[in-house]
Amino acid sequence: MNFEGSEAKRRVASFGYNWSFERRVLSSGKEIPKDFERLIVRVSNYIKILRNIVQELLIAEYRKDSVINS
């Protein structure tokens, strides 16, 4: 994956919405799989928000040699 001209060295899965870094556009994405419902409920309860507020899910896997810069 390329992020702002650098290799990000990660794999991502995005659900709900997609952000295009090249075009800088937000668009509708794949539906959030039902398998994640229990996790979303746990997180929404933990941070004290309503479940229906969660409309996007992003999963990122970083390789050992990845460097995350701020």
For 18-50, how does the pLDDT look when each residue is reduced to its tens digit (9 = 90+)? Answer: 888 789 999 999 999 999 999 999 999 999 999
Residues pairing with 59 in the sheet: 13
Residue 19 domain boundaries: 2-62
Residue 68 included in any domain: no
Residue 67 included in any domain: no
Rounded to an integer, what distance in angstroms lies between the CA atom of residue 70 and that of residue 67?
10
Do you know the residue count of the chain?
70
Is residue 58 within a helix (H) or strand (E), and if so which, with residue range? strand 57-62
Give the total number of structural domains in the chain. 1
Cα distance between the two ends of the chain: 18
Residue 58 included in any domain: yes
Q: What pLDDT is stored for residue 27 in this prediction?
A: 94
Residue 69 included in any domain: no
| Mean per-residue pLDDT, 7-25 | 85
Q: Looking at the whole model, is its pTM more than 0.85?
A: no
Residue 52 included in any domain: yes
Residue type, 13: A
Rounded to an integer, what distance in angstroms lies between the CA atom of residue 39 and that of residue 26?
24
